[in-house]
Structure 1
Amino acid sequence: MSKSNSKTKIKKLDKKIKISQKCNSNLYKNGKYIDQLINIADSIDFDEEGKLVMDCLKELKELENNNKQALLENDNNTLYPHLNDKYFNKKIFKKREFNETKMEKQPNVKDIEAITNSLCQDQEFELAPHQMFVRNFLSFQTPYNGLLLFHGVGTGKTCSAISVSEEMREYNKQMNITKEILIVASPNVQTNFKLQLFNEKKLREVNGLWNIKSCTGNKFLKEINPMNMKGLPKTDVIKQINRIIKQNYKFLGYTEFSNYISKIIDKYSTKGKKNEKKALRNEFSNRLIIIDEVHNLRITDKVKDVKKSTENLKKVVVYANNLKLLLLSATPMYDNAREIVWILNILNLNDNRFPIEENEIFDSNNNILTEDGKGKELLVQKSTGYISYIRGENVFTFPYRIYPNDMGEKGSLEYMMKNKWEYPSKQANDITISGVEGINYLDLMTIPICDYQSKVYNFNIQYLKDKKKGFIKDEDKNSGIPYVLLDGLVQILNFSYPHKKFNEDNPGKKYDIVKRLYGIDGLKRNMFYTKETMFRSFAYKSDTIKNYGRLFDYDNLGKYSNKIEFIMKKIINKKGELQSKGKILIYSRYIHGCIIPLALALEEVGFTRYGGNSLFKEKPKTKYTKHNHKLRYIMITGDSVLSPNKLEEINAFNSPDNKDGEEIKVIIVSKAASEGLDFQCIRQVHIVDPWYNIYRIEQIIGRAVRNQSHCLLPFIERNVEIYLHATLLKDTNIESIDFYLYRLAEKKVKSIAAVSKILKENAIDCFLNSVQSDMSKDKLKKKVDQILSSKEYNKIKFVLGHKDNTPVCDFNKCEIKCENNKKINSVNEETYNNYYMVLNVDKIIQRIRLLFKDEYIYSKKELIKRVQHIKNYPREQILFALDQLIKDKNEYLVDMFNRIGTLKNIDDYYFFQPLELNDENTQMYDNKHLIDNKWKQLDFILPEKIKEEKISSNKKIHNILIMLRNNLNDMKNRKWLSKEEKKNFSKIAAWTIYLLKEFNDIDVDKFYRYAMYTIFEQLSGEDKLLLLKHLWSDDYIEENEEERYAKFYFKKFIKNNIIGIVMKGKIKYYILENNNWNKLPSNKDNLTKDMYKNDKNKNKNIGILEIGKNKGIDYRIKNTEKENERAGAICGTGDYQKADMVVNNNKLFRIFDQETNSRYMGMDKYYMEKSSIKKIYGNKYDDKLSIKHENKTKSVKLSLKHLCVEHQLLLTHFQEENFLDKRWIYFYVELIANK
Structure 2
Amino acid sequence: MSVDTDNSNGIYLDRSKIKYPIIDDLDFREKIGKIFKQYKIKNEKKSLKDICYPTKFTFQNPQIFVSDFINPNTNYKSLLIYHKIGAGKTCAGVKICEEWKNKKNIIVVVPASLVGNFYKELRSECAGEEYLTTKERKRLGELNPDKKEYTDILDKAKQRIDKYYNIMSYHKFVNLATEKKINLKNSLILIDEVQNIVSETGTFYKTFMKAIYSAPSDLRIVLLSATPIFDQPMELGLTLNLLRPKIEFPVGSKFNEMFIKTKKNKSGETIYEVKNVNKLKNMLNGYISYFKGAPDHVFPKKNLKLVKCIMSRYQYEAYRTVMEQEGFGRFGDSDILDLPNNFLIGPRIISNVAFPNKGINEEGFDSFKGKSLDYEMLKIYSIKFYKIMKKIKSCKGTVFVYSNFKEYGGLKSFIKVLEYHKYKDFKDHGKGKLRYAIWSGDESAEVKENIKDFFNKKENVDGSMLKVLLGSPAIKEGVSLLRVKQVHIMEPYWNMSRLEQVIGRAIRFCSHKDVISEEREVKVYIYIATGLKNSEITVDKHIMDLAFKKKELTDQFELVMRDMAVDRYLFQK
Which of 351, 365, 377 is equivalent to 1:493?
351
In structure 1, distance between residues paired with 2:541 and 2:535:
12
Give the conservation status (yes or no) of the 8 Å contact 1:633–1:667. Answer: yes
Unaligned runs of 5+ in 1: 1-76, 109-114, 200-213, 226-232, 266-279, 405-443, 503-515, 528-539, 541-548, 573-578, 615-628, 772-1235
Q: Aligned-pair distance for 1:695?
A: 0.9
Asked if residue 241 in structure 1 is aligned to residue 157 in structure 2, the reply is: yes
Q: Aligned-pair distance for 1:124?
A: 1.3
* Aligned amino acid, residue 486 of structure 1: L
Does the residue aligned with 1:586 lie in a helix, a strand or coil?
strand
Give the conservation status (yes or no) of the 8 Å contact 1:151–1:157. Answer: yes
Q: Aligned-pair distance for 1:196?
A: 1.1
Q: Aligned-pair distance for 1:223?
A: 12
Is the deviation greater in 451-460 or in 380-389?
451-460
**Residue 647 of structure 1 aligns with which residue?**
449
Q: Aligned-pair distance for 1:329?
A: 0.8
In structure 1, distance between residues paired with 2:341 and 2:112:
28
Give the conservation status (yes or no) of the 8 Å contact 1:258–1:309. Answer: no
Does the residue aligned with 2:221 lie in a helix, a strand or coil?
strand
Q: Aligned-pair distance for 1:239?
A: 5.0
Distance 1:706 1:299, change over 3 A: farther
Q: Aligned-pair distance for 1:475?
A: 7.7
Q: Aligned-pair distance for 1:222?
A: 7.1
**Residue 323 of structure 2 aligns with which residue?**
461
Which of 43, 54, 79 is equivalent to 1:105?
43
Give runs of aligned pairs for residues 802-1201 of structure 1, distance below 5 A: none
**Residue 7 of structure 2 aligns with which residue?**
none
In structure 2, distance between residues paired with 1:368 and 1:324:
37
Asked if residue 671 in structure 1 is aligned to residue 473 in structure 2, the reply is: yes
In structure 2, distance between residues paired with 1:701 and 1:81:
40
Give the conservation status (yes or no) of the 8 Å contact 1:454–1:730. Answer: yes
| CA-to-aligned-CA distance 1:1110-1142 (integer Å, 9 cap, x gap) | xxxxxxxxxxxxxxxxxxxxxxxxxxxxxxxxx
Distance 1:319 1:594, change over 3 A: closer
Q: Aligned-pair distance for 1:148?
A: 0.2
**Residue 570 of structure 1 aligns with which residue?**
391
In structure 2, distance between residues paired with 1:309 and 1:297:
5
In structure 2, distance between residues paired with 1:140 and 1:332:
26
**Residue 864 of structure 1 aligns with which residue?**
none
In structure 1, distance between residues paired with 2:73 and 2:293:
29
In structure 2, distance between residues paired with 1:588 and 1:384:
39
Q: Aligned-pair distance for 1:655?
A: 1.6
**Residue 376 of structure 2 aligns with which residue?**
555
Distance 1:482 1:83, change over 3 A: closer
In structure 2, distance between residues paired with 1:165 and 1:256:
20
Asked if residue 309 in structure 1 is aligned to residue 201 in structure 2, the reply is: no
Give the conservation status (yes or no) of the 8 Å contact 1:224–1:241. Answer: no
Give the conservation status (yes or no) of the 8 Å contact 1:760–1:766. Answer: yes
Give the conservation status (yes or no) of the 8 Å contact 2:174–2:207. Answer: no
Q: Aligned-pair distance for 1:731?
A: 1.8
Does the residue aligned with 1:724 lie in a helix, a strand or coil?
strand
In structure 1, distance between residues paired with 2:522 and 2:111:
27
Does the residue aligned with 2:196 lie in a helix, a strand or coil?
helix
Which of 393, 400, 413 is equivalent to 1:597?
413
Q: Aligned-pair distance for 1:455?
A: 1.8
Give runs of aligned pairs for residues 434-833 of structure 1, distance below 5 A: 444-464=306-326, 468=327, 471=328, 484-499=342-357, 516-517=359-360, 519-524=361-366, 526=367, 540=369, 549-572=370-393, 579-591=394-406, 592-613=408-429, 630-640=433-443, 645-771=447-573
Percent identity, aligned pairs only?
28
Asked if residue 375 in structure 1 is aligned to residue 272 in structure 2, the reply is: no
**Residue 144 of structure 1 aligns with which residue?**
76
Distance 1:375 1:258, change over 3 A: farther
Give the conservation status (yes or no) of the 8 Å contact 2:348–2:539. Answer: yes
In structure 2, distance between residues paired with 1:612 and 1:151:
40
Give the conservation status (yes or no) of the 8 Å contact 1:362–1:368. Answer: no
**Residue 139 of structure 2 aligns with which residue?**
none
Give the conservation status (yes or no) of the 8 Å contact 2:260–2:275. Answer: no
Q: Aligned-pair distance for 1:733?
A: 2.2
In structure 2, distance between residues paired with 1:689 and 1:319:
43
| CA-to-aligned-CA distance 1:70-119 (integer Å, 9 cap, x gap) | xxxxxxx9810110011111100101xx22222231417xxxxxx22343
Distance 1:393 1:722, change over 3 A: farther
In structure 1, distance between residues paired with 2:219 and 2:134:
26
Give the conservation status (yes or no) of the 8 Å contact 2:212–2:242. Answer: no
Does the residue aligned with 1:585 lie in a helix, a strand or coil?
strand
Asked if residue 86 in structure 1 is aligned to residue 26 in structure 2, the reply is: yes
**Residue 197 of structure 2 aligns with which residue?**
297
| CA-to-aligned-CA distance 1:492-514 (integer Å, 9 cap, x gap) | 11111011xx6xxxxxxxxxxxx
**Residue 811 of structure 1 aligns with which residue?**
none
Give the conservation status (yes or no) of the 8 Å contact 2:191–2:223. Answer: yes
In structure 2, distance between residues paired with 1:455 and 1:476:
24
Does the residue aligned with 2:534 lie in a helix, a strand or coil?
coil
In structure 2, distance between residues paired with 1:450 and 1:289:
54
* Aligned amino acid, residue 344 of structure 2: L
**Residue 215 of structure 1 aligns with which residue?**
126
Give the conservation status (yes or no) of the 8 Å contact 2:294–2:509. Answer: yes
Give runs of aligned pairs for residues 85-484 of structure 1, distance below 5 A: 85-95=25-35, 98-107=36-45, 115-169=47-101, 171-172=102-103, 179=105, 181-198=106-123, 214-220=125-131, 240-264=156-180, 283-298=183-198, 303=201, 306-307=202-203, 309-349=205-245, 353-358=246-251, 362-363=256-257, 366-367=260-261, 375-392=276-293, 394-404=295-305, 444-464=306-326, 468=327, 471=328, 484=342
Q: Aligned-pair distance for 1:185?
A: 0.9
| CA-to-aligned-CA distance 1:940-975 (integer Å, 9 cap, x gap) | xxxxxxxxxxxxxxxxxxxxxxxxxxxxxxxxxxxx
In structure 2, distance between residues paired with 1:285 and 1:558:
62
Distance 1:216 1:685, change over 3 A: same
Distance 1:486 1:362, change over 3 A: closer
In structure 2, distance between residues paired with 1:374 and 1:729:
38
Distance 1:337 1:188, change over 3 A: same
Superposed CA RMSD: 3.1
TM-score normalised by structure 2 residue count: 0.85
Unaligned runs of 5+ in 2: 1-16, 137-148, 264-273
Does the residue aligned with 2:319 lie in a helix, a strand or coil?
helix
Give the conservation status (yes or no) of the 8 Å contact 1:361–1:378. Answer: no
Distance 1:635 1:314, change over 3 A: same
In structure 2, distance between residues paired with 1:633 and 1:223:
37
Give the conservation status (yes or no) of the 8 Å contact 1:554–1:605. Answer: no
Which has the larger Rg? 1
Give the conservation status (yes or no) of the 8 Å contact 1:688–1:725. Answer: yes
Q: Aligned-pair distance for 1:379?
A: 1.6
Distance 1:758 1:483, change over 3 A: closer
* Aligned amino acid, residue 251 of structure 1: I
Q: Aligned-pair distance for 1:556?
A: 2.1
Does the residue aligned with 2:416 lie in a helix, a strand or coil?
helix
Q: Aligned-pair distance for 1:588?
A: 0.5
* Aligned amino acid, residue 589 of structure 1: N
In structure 1, distance between residues paired with 2:45 and 2:502:
30
Q: Aligned-pair distance for 1:680?
A: 0.8
Q: Aligned-pair distance for 1:135?
A: 1.1
In structure 1, distance between residues paired with 2:532 and 2:447:
43
Give the number of aligned pairs.
531
Distance 1:630 1:763, change over 3 A: same
Give the conservation status (yes or no) of the 8 Å contact 2:455–2:465. Answer: yes
